[in-house]
Amino acid sequence: MGRVGAANEYIDWLAKVDEVGGELAWVTRQKNFPLNTSQKVAPVRRSADEIIRCVLDSKRVKKTINAEAERRGCAQKVVRAEAEEVIRTMAHRMQMPAVRLIGYAIVSVVKRLFDGIFVNSVQLQRLRELFNNDAVIFMPTHRTYMDFLLISLLCFDHDVPLPAIAAGMDFMNSKFMGEALRRCGAFFIRREFGKDRLYWSLFTEYVQTHLINADHPVEFFIEGTRSRSGKSLYPRYGLLQILVEPFLRCQLYDMVIVPVTMNYDKILEEALYAYELLGFPKPKESTTGLLKARRILNKRFGRVYMTFGEPISVRRYFSTSLERSAFACQPESVFEVPVKEKMVIRKFGHDIVRIHNENNVISIWPYTCAVLLKLLDERRMSNRNELVPLGELVHYVEEIIALAKRLEKNVLVHTNIINDLRYYLELHSDLFCTCDNFASPDSNLQLSHFLVSEQNNIDKHCLERSVAHIILSNYANQVLYDFADMGLICSILIAKNQIDRNDAMSLFCRLHALFDHEFVCMPGKEEAQASFAAAIGTLQRGCCIDLSDEIVTIKCNGAVMAMASLIHPFIAVYQLVIQTVFGFAGTTAAQSLLVVGTQRRVAQLLASPDHKYLRSSALSSDPIKNALSSLCSHKALVKQADGQYRVDAAQLCSVGSLLNSRTFSVLSMHQEPFASSFVTWFFALPELVPGIW
């Protein structure tokens, strides 16, 4: 649905900094952070060294040290020394003087980068009251490295205790940046723990001692890493289980999760993400890289919207689904969760991701990107040049916004669509060759080519064309939470024109399961059926379909085509992944080989004049990896002990038959012009709904 704030709900925090006298005055103000009194009469925050000693002396860690010493055949003091080194490398050393100094520098940078930082300030002020009694966990979306910096700045501004932040160890490649973040509350963890029992034990105890003793709130990204594609990632179930363990063991009366949704007009790492998705290695964080990144200070990145969601009481959430007494009886050094209870915790993770998406503040830019990509498709398929007139783009953006509103989706428009569109085109001008400030409706938009080197034997020119397409695609992906379910239904309807409701639901459920890594959703048949019912209802109210005598029919072909076109690029990629994987039947392959193999297949098709339906953004590794994850879920790919994947040909055929049905074969090759289909819908709507215009 998305979110559009009330007139006074979102306050520009940067303007507030100026009101108090600028960065120095803001950062030197007297602070009054509340202390948690639920555990102690006279609460005092423990020092970093006290927390480390508490972790090393815990029963869980001592038992693990003993077990590791026995397994390795060495003295316990050797393993303990290793454990102490690990925990000291991990631990934060938050110090308020350092927070103020580094905060001053960060605020100065943020003011140069962004036109505004808008936050629902009243909600954050209300959250401050929680810290007197409950353990609090911030769970933000993760789209850029700016996320955790901005949350800490806003907490500091509102006298909310600064969180201890889980950060990746790659930040420690830069001693300067690593130590700066450590003194502002960051603690550093590996990207993967594997089967390192000692590390798991230390990490678990370190996080849980913060919660139980209320030293600081903690901040975790439930998605685990930054989303390079603009879509939500699958929640990290193991992390969530560690966080709720103290509550399940009755060590805490309650704990509170605060979902935070971050929306950016322009992502700082947008080009870097595109290069990564094409297969170029991610650069290491380093002081040298930090100095090189100073060039971004001369760029503008628009506005940021930070939405602090309603706090979720873990006690209330699990009140009818989990019985804590079973966990409270387990030994302190052991924590086992039965399968049924694990599913409840997993559902909790998906609910948090759902709340993230429901709190999105979506501007016209993601819709603009979706329209622009579709108009480029139309030109490519009709052998025209890839110049898109600005006036034409404005026209179809206005129409897709009208469609979104009819389908009960909120779209943030600051002034009007024309002025907003010019603002965003200027903000993203590095994606285009035009240099006339987009002032004239006769301006033509042409995507820039980004310089790249050859990668994985893929043509350099093909890669150069793909970067801008992938960036646009990543922004367009932001609307998929609102439209994915409706897009799947519309895809089913395109070839058939009408279908029995139960048949449509059955096919939808299969597609829902196939694309559950692409469009992250609650797993399970019942959840899929509920999603189907909700999407069908929205399509009916939007006058896109009819449902009579349990038969679903298309009421407006243009609207149905428009929504199906949002899903079509993913169907095309999944078809190509399945074809690539078929080539490895009878042998084994690493995931990287399957990804590169698919990218090479895509590049070959892009170079062929007979496959104009395929977008350059299909080279992105994100949907390819999601398709491989889905094939693993469907047992079409089986991961072996050595990390290689074996193909189950029978299961792969079963999945392939779904996407090679008549519906999706027609869809992938459908060439009806976007313009004519949308005009059909737009001008038919007043007749379908008399009196609304």
User: Largest alpha-carbon pair distance within the chain?
Assistant: 83
* Mean pLDDT per 10-residue segment, the chain (693 residues): 65 96 96 78 78 95 95 94 96 95 95 96 92 93 95 96 92 81 94 88 96 93 95 94 93 96 97 94 61 72 98 95 82 80 94 97 98 94 87 95 96 95 95 74 89 80 95 98 97 87 96 95 92 98 95 95 95 94 93 96 89 89 97 95 92 88 50 39 35 26
pLDDT at position 676: 42
| Sheet with 551-554: strands ordered across | 498-500, 551-554, 545-548
Q: What residue ranges do the domains of the chain occupy?
A: 92-261+303-358, 485-675
Helix/strand/coil (H/E/C) assignment for every residue in 372-434: HHHHHHHHHHCCCCCCEEHHHHHHHHHHHHHHHHHCCCCCECCCCHHHHHHHHHHHCHHHECC
Task: Give, in order, the Cα–Cα distances in Å from 245 to each of 163, 351, 377, 674.
Answer: 19, 18, 50, 51
Q: Could you please report the per-residue DSSP string of 132-160?
A: GTSEEEEEE--SSTHHHHHHHHHHHHTTP
pLDDT at position 675: 40
CA distance 349 to 329: 25
Pair 56, 198: CB distance under 8 Å: no
Task: Give, in order, the Cα–Cα distances in Å from 344 to each of 136, 362, 443.
Answer: 20, 30, 54
CA distance 611 to 615: 9
Q: How many CB atoms lie within 10 A of CB 530?
A: 12
Please give the class, per CATH, of domain 92-261+303-358: alpha beta
CA distance 90 to 110: 27
Pair 354, 312: CB distance under 8 Å: no
- Closest by CA to 230, choosing from 265, 189, 178, is 265
Residue 559: what are its φ and ψ, rounded to 5°? -65, -40
Residue 499 zone, left/alpha/beta (φ > 0; ψ -120 to 50; rest): beta
Bridge partners of 455? 458
CA distance 577 to 656: 10
CA distance 429 to 432: 5
Task: Give, in order, the Cα–Cα distances in Å from 398 to each of 53, 392, 421, 542.
Answer: 61, 10, 10, 16
Bridge partners of 554? 545
CA distance 118 to 479: 20
Bridge partners of 189? 168
CA distance 633 to 684: 42
CA distance 36 to 38: 6
277's CB contacts (< 8 A; 6+ apart) are 228, 229, 470, 619, 620, 621, 622
Q: What's the whole-model pTM score?
A: 0.92
CA distance 455 to 453: 6
CA distance 566 to 63: 53
- Closest by CA to 615, choosing from 274, 451, 378, is 378
pLDDT at position 281: 86
Q: Where are the alpha helices (DSSP H) in 158-267?
A: 175-183, 197-213, 237-248
Tokens of 339: 């399968």
CA distance 120 to 569: 35
Pair 274, 616: CB distance under 8 Å: no
The packing angle between helices 197-213 and 237-248, to 10°, is: 50
List % helix, strand, coil for the chain (3-state, nearest 5). 55, 10, 35
pLDDT at position 436: 62
Tokens of 86: 């690990």
Task: Give, in order, the Cα–Cα distances in Å from 61 to each of 80, 97, 199, 502.
Answer: 9, 32, 9, 54
First-to-last CA distance in the chain? 23
Tokens of 302: 């628009």
Q: How many CB atoms lie within 10 A of CB 454?
A: 11
Q: Beta strand 255-264 with 186-189: parallel, antiparallel or unpaired?
A: unpaired
Question: Token match 């947008």: residue?
Answer: 270
Q: Beta strand 186-189 with 164-168: parallel, antiparallel or unpaired?
A: parallel
Residue 497 zone, left/alpha/beta (φ > 0; ψ -120 to 50; rest): left
